[in-house]
Amino acid sequence: MELQNDRIINGLLKADLGFLTPEELSARLAQDVAIIADPQRATVEDLWPCIWFLASVLERQFTGRVVISGLPEALPSPIALGSRCEFSSRQTPKCAITIFLGKTPSSDNGITLVGDARGSELSYGHLLSATAPAHPVTCCALAGHLGFAALAQAVGIPPFHEEWRQGSLRLPFEGRAEPLPSFSVLGTGQVGQAFLALAYFFAAGKELSVHLLDKDVLEDYNQRTQILLSEHIESWCGQAKVDYLAGICRTWGWTVSPEQKEIAWGWRHSPQGQAFAFLGFDNMDARRIAVESGFPWLFECGVGTDFCRPHVTWHSLPSNRELAKELFKEPVRRAKPASAFASALAESPAECGRVIFENIAASAPSLGLVAVSATWIEVMRSLAGDHEPYSGTMFVWSPLLPPLRESLYPQLSLLQEKHKGA
């Protein structure tokens, strides 16, 4: 794989952070990262989901070791962490980047980050005083914020709206969790796989029935952003996404029906008894098609591709064509100044190198965790009886920036009145 085709390096080169070649960035991302967790809290019922999510995105964003201190070995997880993830009994392994998780920092060498999660609250830069164990959704959100913070500090992404930063966030859900019904995942790329991984921890060993739909096959570059793909590329490259992921989910004790299909206008979902669908599509047209396909309720999220303005969005909505048309409009393409790397590629024959580079959609897997955790909150609220549609957005860096979350009822009511009068 050419380095500019690497989704993370591609996005960082577009950000124009002063790196002139992919090799310069590759060297910066070759650093070792340590996760140091409180041994008393490194359990399945508390911080282990955060440790797994964080290690999963770190081993994709960085190419050095990921040393995990605080527990002797891995606990049950969606898939095994890669060989570059090492469990260590040493309390303070020496790495270029150190992340203290639910634990007071014992050193400040190199880049040092601190985060904590308790119940539905997460913090950055300090520990929380509450005693409740971390919820899996909060763990996922914290791992996303810490994962992007590690990347940002390693390569020098400037803080975004640092003046709005908050030390902690309380996520809008109660601690109790309703049982998960049968559901569908339409689109099984970066956010689709993160959604499934969080469902694994949310279900806590209970059986589930899931339908997976995607038209694509897996390619080697997917491994840098999709967290359910093992480091053994030859074991999945070239396979249909849904078939490979169905095999993973069946090891969790789930009943899975995979469907390799490209949906088109008029498509209706076929599995019976699906309570909701999660949309993991990376284009607006597929989102609009899926919204009117017959599911009683839908959830979706997306991640931005500008590493200097890293944002995520999410929606909770009913099957409503007019609302989908309003929410999922084709984005307006705004011209951006070419980065130094893109300008250099313009000298290639027919500028083919620049065209390839600029046509690649780049993102960091840590952003997907933040987006999916926000979406899961909407799922939890819906299962608890709150069927109000919501729209949300959040910027991930600087952590922690407060999210914007608002009801879609006014917009939906206006569209319904407009449709009646038409």
pLDDT tens sequence across 266-313: 888 876 778 899 999 989 999 999 998 889 899 999 999 999 999 999
Give, for 406, the enclosing helix (H) or strand (E): strand 404-407
Both 194 and 144 in one domain: the answer is no
Both 142 and 195 in one domain: the answer is no
Whether residue 363 contacts residue 303, with contact meaning beta carbons closer than 8 Å, is answered with yes
Q: Which residues pair with 212 in a beta bridge?
A: 185, 258
Please report which confidence band the pLDDT of residue 179 belongs to, taking 50, 70 and 90 as the band edges. Answer: confident
Please report which confidence band the pLDDT of residue 2 belongs to, taking 50, 70 and 90 as the band edges. Answer: low
Q: In this structure, what DSSP letter does residue 407 have?
A: E
Q: 140, 156, 172: which is the final residue of a domain?
A: 156
- Report if residue 401 sits inside a domain: yes
Tokens of 390: 């919501």
In a 3-state reduction of DSSP, which class is residue 369?
helix
Residue 324 in this model has a pLDDT that exceeds 80 = yes
Please give the full DSSP string across 78-118, using - where no structure is assigned: SSPPPTTEEEES-SS---SEEEEESS--S---SEEEEEEEE
How many domains is the chain built from? 2
Both 111 and 240 in one domain: the answer is no
What pLDDT, on the 0 to 100 scale, is given for residue 355? 55
- Report if residue 177 sits inside a domain: no
Q: 119, 140, 156: which is the final residue of a domain?
A: 156
Tokens of 33: 């990262």
Both 145 and 204 in one domain: the answer is no
Please report which confidence band the pLDDT of residue 4 belongs to, taking 50, 70 and 90 as the band edges. Answer: low
Neighbouring residues of 420: CB distance < 8 A, sequence distance ≥ 6: none
Please report which confidence band the pLDDT of residue 49 belongs to, taking 50, 70 and 90 as the band edges. Answer: very high
Separation of CA 5 from chain center:
20
Both 215 and 311 in one domain: the answer is yes
Whether residue 380 contacts residue 171, with contact meaning beta carbons closer than 8 Å, is answered with no
- Report if residue 277 sits inside a domain: yes
Give, for 25, the enclosing helix (H) or strand (E): helix 22-28
- Report if residue 370 sits inside a domain: yes
What pLDDT, on the 0 to 100 scale, is given for residue 422? 54
Both 294 and 237 in one domain: the answer is yes
- Report if residue 14 sits inside a domain: no
- Report if residue 8 sits inside a domain: no
The range of the structural domain enclosing residue 227 comes to: 183-421
Based on C-alpha coordinates, what's the Rg of the chain? 21
pTM exceeding the 0.85 threshold for the entire prediction: yes
Residue 347 in this model has a pLDDT that exceeds 70 = no
- Report if residue 49 sits inside a domain: yes
What pLDDT, on the 0 to 100 scale, is given for residue 335? 59
Tokens of 177: 């969790």
Q: 139, 156, 173: which is the final residue of a domain?
A: 156
Please report which confidence band the pLDDT of residue 409 belongs to, taking 50, 70 and 90 as the band edges. Answer: confident
Both 130 and 250 in one domain: the answer is no
Both 105 and 39 in one domain: the answer is yes
Q: What are the pLDDT digits (tens) for 120-140?
A: 999 999 999 999 999 999 999
What pLDDT, on the 0 to 100 scale, is given for residue 358? 61
What is the overall mean pLDDT for the chain?
90
Tokens of 58: 């770190």
Q: Which residue has the higher pLDDT, 95 or 52?
A: 52
Both 73 and 145 in one domain: the answer is yes
Cβ atoms < 10 Å from Cβ of 42: 23
Both 231 and 326 in one domain: the answer is yes
- Report if residue 70 sits inside a domain: yes
Both 140 and 274 in one domain: the answer is no
The CATH number that applies at residue 360 is 3.40.50.720
Both 200 and 323 in one domain: the answer is yes
In the block, tokens 């480091």 appear at 231
Q: Return the percentage of the chain with pLDDT > 90, whole number.
A: 70
Q: What are the pLDDT digits (tens) for 9-38?
A: 989 998 989 887 889 999 999 999 999 999
Residue 147 in this model has a pLDDT that exceeds 90 = yes
